[in-house]
Structure 1
Amino acid sequence: MTYSVIPTPSSTQTPAAFPASIPLPAPVAGSIPNPAPVAGAGFAAFNLAAPLTRALAEENYTRPTPIQLATIPVAMSGRDVVGIAQTGTGKTAAFALPILHRLAGDRRRVLPGETRVLVLSPTRELSGQILDSFRAYGRHLRPAAALAIGGVPIHGQRRAVAHGIEILVATPGRLLDLVDCRALRLDRVEVLVLDEADRMLDMGFIRDIRRIVALTPPSRQTLFFSATMPREIADLAGQMLRDPARVAVTPVASTAERVSQRVIHVERAAKPQTLAGLLEAAPQRLTLVFTRTKHGADKVVRYLNRGGLAAEAIHGNKSQNQRERVLAGFRAGRIKTLVATDIAARGIDVDGIGLVVNYDLPNIPESYVHRIGRTARAGATGEAVSLCSGEERAFLRDIEKLIRQNIPASGRPQVAPAGAHPQAVPAGARPYQGPPRGNGRPSRGGFHRGQRQGEGRRQGGGQGYRGRQASF
């Protein structure tokens, strides 16, 4: 069985490469054919329930995005969907609106400890944003909805599901905590949504997802979204979905046309000063800086702050309250520079980011596309600058091969003083102290005091990094 293809209407987004054939269970008898999306149609073409139409008008949403045009009619028909879509394409509304339309037509009572709709997402921030979207679109329906995420006490979440809810948005680990303590049952789930499935795979949640899926009824509708489609994700989709329609927009190998890209070749020790210069050149624009590790993000923030440049970090070691405060400040423009790891950035959905800086180049080429896609949104233009050290040139070649273009270099290569330690600061840069190192001698195991084991490894390589991902 192969995927049925939903054509996407013409737009700046183009159809993505997608596996031509993935083994799937036999199709369900009487499955509904794909409705054809109409380019240029408004939300009225979907015949959504009146409370939803009213909420969309209040949000000033008039024209659906390509993924919404392609997904909403299929999802409203009850058919399974597998979609390739990146952040910023409007995919949350693509699954939230059909779900709310379904609930509007059947407000039956939910039994204690059960949920009708289950949405799985990889991070706390993204889960919160999804729930906010459900509440915004469903403000005139007022569905019983709750959040189940780690990093906060479980007691309030147990109370939230005790009387039964219509929509539960959850991260996999906390969801299973609720199941294991018998606060929640999944055998009456009507709709299951997996959002950013590839990131859940990267974070080590694949076994949790398989267990969760096994606890839901086979008759459920499944809406499956991923920014990329590696083999493991394709296999998981094949096992979960029944005769799904396929939607694909914004291929992972494409970069936004309105993003100006350039690379600065720089010695590793000169990166802090180079970053500071980029920020000083346009101090009022929102800037998102990517580092490979949590510890690296904190080091960058300390360097910038000591030089008089305000910046904040967001990563898995921050408390939930800290992360929410920082994100709120960044959205409001009070915080101009945000330093993040790839995983933490999946929860950042902010328009108006003018500059993305790859302080550390990713060793996974697709991550580059995800990163720079944070700028040039909602019709705006943006800039993406990559700081490439000698040891990262192989990563740069892989990125250029993926996006099928050479990223132009700008400026002279930035060189650190001769004999400088890789983390030293070049002459003329602001003083950077770094974390306490004791007497400077390596401690047992070869790591300096204040340095975590596994830091500095290539992303995705070794159990040290995987452990840090899974702990997020």
Structure 2
Amino acid sequence: MDAYDIFKKLTKGLTFKHRVLGVNNNNTLLKPVKKEEIEIKQEQISDNEEDSQSLSEHTASESEGQSDQEDNDLQLIDGVKVGKKKKKEKKEKSEDLKKKLLLEEQNRFRNEHGIKTVGRHVPAALQDFSELMSRYNVSQGLVDTVRECGYTEPTPVQRQAIPCMLEDRQILACAPTGSGKTAAFLVPILHSLGPPQGGPRALILCPTRELAHQIYREALRLSASTLLRCSVVKNIKESKVKEREATIRKSDIVVSTPNRLCYLLNQDTVNISLDKVRWLVIDEADKLFEGSADQQSDFRQQLEQVLAACGGRARRLAMLSATHTPAVAKWARHHMRGVINVTVGQRNAATNLVDQKLLFCGNENGKLVAFRQLVQEGLKPPVLVFVQSKDRAKQLFKELIYDGINVDVIHADRTQMQRDNVVRSFRVGRIWVLICTELMGRGIDFRGVNLVINYDFPPSAIAYIHRVGRAGRAGQKGRAITFFTQDDIGNLRSIASVIKQSGCEVPEYMLQLKQNPNKRKKLMKKAPSRDKISTILEKRPDKRKLDAANAVIADKSKPTDSIKNSKNNKQRKIVNGNTQNKHKKEVTEKGNKVKKRKKKALGNKNKKAGN
């Protein structure tokens, strides 16, 4: 039943002027209605009947007046009424109208800052940090420390994520790299925990150890005005397990990787209770959910183990990342009740502050030439160089170490002490160029990185977004150059579209390239094989030696050519038997000759002695 059927039913039997769009309605006149005169017989009525008739007429007239008023005020559809026009009366705004106006103002403010929210009863976004004290009774000291850390105004993520977490709402936030996500979940946690009580009450999980140390440093800075204790789960050795257990028991906020935390929970000698945990934060959630099915299942099992250990009813979840993947969204829908999705800007897009460029190098040797040209033109350190594997990182380091550049490398084969020293020296400025793998592509905040070079083409658009996000952090501008060869065309279109979305120029032919989904899946699972990064000329063997080696191989292959099908084993046995018999005969003949020589020698000696 549509609006027209409802209109027909409501207007059945009514006569009024129809207004039609596009027609002069003033000229149209109502058709006169013919009234048929009916003769009514008059009869004599008694006094009682007259009284009852007068009462009935009076009630009928009242009912007709009411019905006329109802007909005059009859509303057919929203905004369309039947009856005489009445003067507009000034009425006070109702509470519903006020709520609608407030919602419109909040949505307008969100649209100005590029914030999109999905969920029920979404809290209003923050306009300034001073609202934290008036709306949520946040202490003055915490607000002052936030401003001292360099946050003069809240970033778009902080405007929406902080109110949601202060109202104990579970969130799934997606915001660009360098937009202040760490402070967005640390500030509400520091306020909601209150005074220290002993025992972990907030747990933060992240994919890499370097990112865990970075979050730990940021938590120490923001918790300076509070008495809360923060700790990070470092290397776990059998000799230091008890120390880690003691620090976790004393601390209120614990930062760790999921693997190390599960290792501690599985130890029989370790007694760590996570029943008091109120907030469980998963940073860079899409990284933990990506990879093969086995890797995903491993992390999900670890996450289920952590969630089972955090068995409190008041436990809340917050998941944050710079990119959005369907796997994370599906898991959040099933396991996070009343979740609020917060998205800042476009999903899966690079930052607008980075000037991005694609550079064709032909082959692997061309990449090294292009890099040295960039050095000759002049590099503004610090510079990050990404390669696809630790072996290629070592090869590139050997090539660049003799070019007069302060260069170093970080990968999984290096010890924890070496990795910490490299990161520290890169932050200070002792190292100008840092060669790294995907290990440093997630969440690491190197402020002031001017240039990011993708020496090896990234395996996916998400990996590209995270790599490029190391530059252009905290409102600063940066550059990103990506080298590509003929072998990288399978993934070129997706990354070219990401670059165009961020406002950079891209050739049109790149956006029209055909994509092979099977190749893309293979590239995500396994990196393509590439030539070695080296400029050392290897000595070629002499031509004569090569010919001699080929002749020997040919001689060996002659007897095998004559062997066919099922006769292989028999003929090989015969050949092997003949060769063994020949060898035995030669050995016995040599032995007999030696014996004869010895006998002759002994006979000659005896003759001499007799003489």
Mark yes or no: TM-score above 0.5: yes
How is 1:243-322 mapped onto 2 (pairs within 5 angstroms)? 243-266=338-361, 267-322=363-418
Instruction: Give 1 or 2 for the bigger CA radius of gyration.
Output: 2
Change (3 A) 1:391 1:128: same
Q: Contact 1:222–1:240 (CA<8 Å) still a contact in 2?
A: no
Residue 422 (structure 1) aligns with: 531
CA shift for structure 1 position 316: 2.1
CA shift for structure 1 position 71: 0.6
Residue 129 (structure 2) aligns with: 43
> Partners of 2:398 and 2:150 in 1: how far apart?
40
- Superposed CA deviations along residues 137-158 of structure 1, whole A, max 9, x for unmatched, are 1112131221114477544322
> Partners of 2:453 and 2:114 in 1: how far apart?
25
CA shift for structure 1 position 190: 1.0
Which one of the candidate residues 317, 322, 328 is aligned to 1:222? 317
Residue 132 (structure 1) aligns with: 217
Change (3 A) 1:422 1:122: closer
User: TM-score normalized by structure 1?
Assistant: 0.76
Which one of the candidate residues 159, 162, 181 is aligned to 2:246? 159
Which one of the candidate residues 205, 210, 219 is aligned to 1:120? 205
Q: Contact 1:314–1:323 (CA<8 Å) still a contact in 2?
A: yes
> Partners of 2:172 and 2:160 in 1: how far apart?
11
Q: Contact 2:441–2:466 (CA<8 Å) still a contact in 1?
A: no
Q: Contact 1:124–1:150 (CA<8 Å) still a contact in 2?
A: no
CA shift for structure 1 position 396: 1.4
User: TM-score normalized by structure 2?
Assistant: 0.60
> Partners of 1:376 and 1:407 in 2: how far apart?
18
Q: Which amino acid aligns with 2:531?
A: P
SS of the equivalent of 2:401 reads helix
CA shift for structure 1 position 207: 2.3
Greater RCO, 1 or 2 (C-alpha within 8 Å, sep 6+)? 1
- Superposed CA deviations along residues 203-225 of structure 1, whole A, max 9, x for unmatched, are 63232112212222243111111
CA shift for structure 1 position 54: 2.6
Q: Which amino acid aligns with 1:211?
A: Q
> Partners of 1:361 and 1:13 in 2: how far apart?
33
Change (3 A) 1:147 1:9: farther
Residue 301 (structure 2) aligns with: 207
Q: Does 1:242 align with 2:327?
A: no
CA shift for structure 1 position 192: 0.7
SS of the equivalent of 2:130 reads helix
> Aligned residue pairs: how many?
394
Change (3 A) 1:68 1:432: farther
- Superposed CA deviations along residues 249-305 of structure 1, whole A, max 9, x for unmatched, are 143432222322222211122212222222332234211111111221221111110
CA shift for structure 1 position 356: 0.8
Q: Does 1:90 align with 2:199?
A: no
> Partners of 1:57 and 1:381 in 2: how far apart?
22
Q: Contact 1:271–1:387 (CA<8 Å) still a contact in 2?
A: yes
> Partners of 1:268 and 1:206 in 2: how far apart?
38
SS of the equivalent of 1:115 reads coil
CA shift for structure 1 position 431: 4.7
Residue 466 (structure 1) aligns with: none
Residue 279 (structure 2) aligns with: 191
Q: Contact 2:351–2:472 (CA<8 Å) still a contact in 1?
A: yes
Percent of pairs identical after alignment?
29
Provide the alpha-carbon RMSD of the alignment.
2.8
> Any stretches of 5+ residues in structure 2 without a counterpart?
1-105, 508-529, 539-611
